[in-house]
Structure 1
Amino acid sequence: MAEQVAWIGLGNMGRGMVKNLVAKYPLQTPLIVYNRTHSRAKDVACTLAKPVNIAPTITEAVGSATIIFICLSDDNAVTETFQTAISTCTIAGKLFIDCSTVHPDTSRRIANLVESHGGLFVACPVFGTPPAADAGQLIFVLAGKRELVERVKPFCAGVMGRVSLDLSTSPAGGPTGNDDDDEKEPLMDPGRASLLKVLGSALSLNMVNAVAEAMTVAEKSGLGVDSLHSFLELMYPGAYVRNSNRVRSGGGQTREEPPFAVDLARKDARYAMDVASAVGVRMKGLELADEYLQGVEKHIKGEKGED
């Protein structure tokens, strides 16, 4: 039987991911898409390389599919979506792939809920900005049962992303070399992908904070932001330089829709600090970054702004 793929969530990240999924993956049947705001689903559908079917409800999207991707903004949205799917559909045998950034414990609860109803689950959060999603350059982090992760990989690197990091094999991403069940069990934990995601987000927030502070000092001291930027290009190419460019160019101030919402950045920070606290660690740098973000929330109207 042909696989039927569905996609739930067409936000900043989901739009670009769907674009590449439709254009690059050999779908056997038209992709089913669902978005809470129906008009957005229609607008996105008009931009895609191939026709898609727009589902009016979560129930119809999940009920008609065998593989369901979910990419939503927060834990509440993800939890409500799964509860709706499970209460209105028979999900036995269906594979759910959650690309949302959620707390590791949320991933574990959802996985247990899905599996208790005969469904299958892989946690698959992504690293990257909306432009990276649009360009198919995301980093995918996958965790869950190894055979399920293998089913998901073909959708990731070379289609929606540039690389996949598989946490179902070993902590380093390679084979365990051990057939003992007690050793394998932690590697099946879908929460590991979400844990890496929130820690990675913490690193990103710390980096953004460091670049912004250094740029401010460079400008006020007379050194100049261009001189600091030249140093970053030589010493810290990659993400530091990209963030420096954003600061120098005014960042998202020229965009109609900012790439990341402040409340979502703070959500990621809270989750990272929570998992750190659970193991007796305090992330003081992240606390400072979150303090700055809280100030941004007070400064702007609404909760959207540069991360």
Structure 2
Amino acid sequence: MINELITKARLKNFMLIIIGSVLYAISVNVFTVPNDLAEGGLTGFSLILFYLADIPPSYTIFIVNIFILAIGYKFLDKKTLHYTLVANAIISVMLLVVTRYQFIPETTLLAPIGSGIFMGAGIGLIMLGHGTTAGSDIIAKLMEKYLGINIPTGLLMIDVFIVLPSAFIIGAENAFLTLINLYIQSKVIDFILEGLNPRKSFFIISKKHVEIAEAIENQLGRGITILDGRGYYTKERKDILYIIISRREVLPIKRIVEAIDPNAFMTVSHVQEVTGEGFSYLSQEVQAERITEAEEEWIEEQRVANES
């Protein structure tokens, strides 16, 4: 049973890496290169060599990543490195295979938008598969581990330092378009890694909290949590309604609260991701993934113990 779970988890990770690598190659060969745009990280470096010396990016990415992986070997776990080697090989192959189509739009902004969406989705899926595209991804992971900078922000910081020199090769206009591309990438990666199930949260403080809670439950069918609170100045005890909802339910709840108590204190916040009963169809899958990872680590520990 354990081996079956591990096999399924590995197959899932490989599929994520393959799909991500294809999207990565589409971004570079279909959107970026035909429109003389740059990229960040190692891809950006490989494109600079391509524009200057006509060296195929696949060769540069594969060779340089070998050296970067040697550095990453000291800092990243073996599983991530194994998947990264797979991702690096598949990306290099896909960059040679996905060359048939080119997208050169009449509207200039469509090129960086398309490139950012495909590249962000590609990198995000590869990371979901427990791999990286090596290069700046490994550096970003180290920044997250030792500096507390999240991966999308770290990638954006690294990419800017690569793109600025490329402005002298592709021109200032294309460099600015590339920055748009990188910004979109970071947002797509952020979305994929940190939340596939965005929601809104409500805090409602009202003397008519019971009526408000009943109306919300009856009209929208949403569960409500009542928190105990107390005003600092008045020392008065207050009941606080806490609700997690979808974005389309924001306006109905506002109308309910305003109709029952126009003086109610209400805040609305963005929630990146919600898992659990009633909110996420991914919750069981996430739990299974976590269980499988723990079992895989336990098996590895037992293997090492037996060998020693």
TM-score range, shorter chain: under 0.3
Higher RCO, 1 or 2 (CA under 8 Å, sep at least 6)?
2
What's the TM-score, normalizing by structure 1? 0.26
The structure with more helix, counted as a fraction of residues: 2
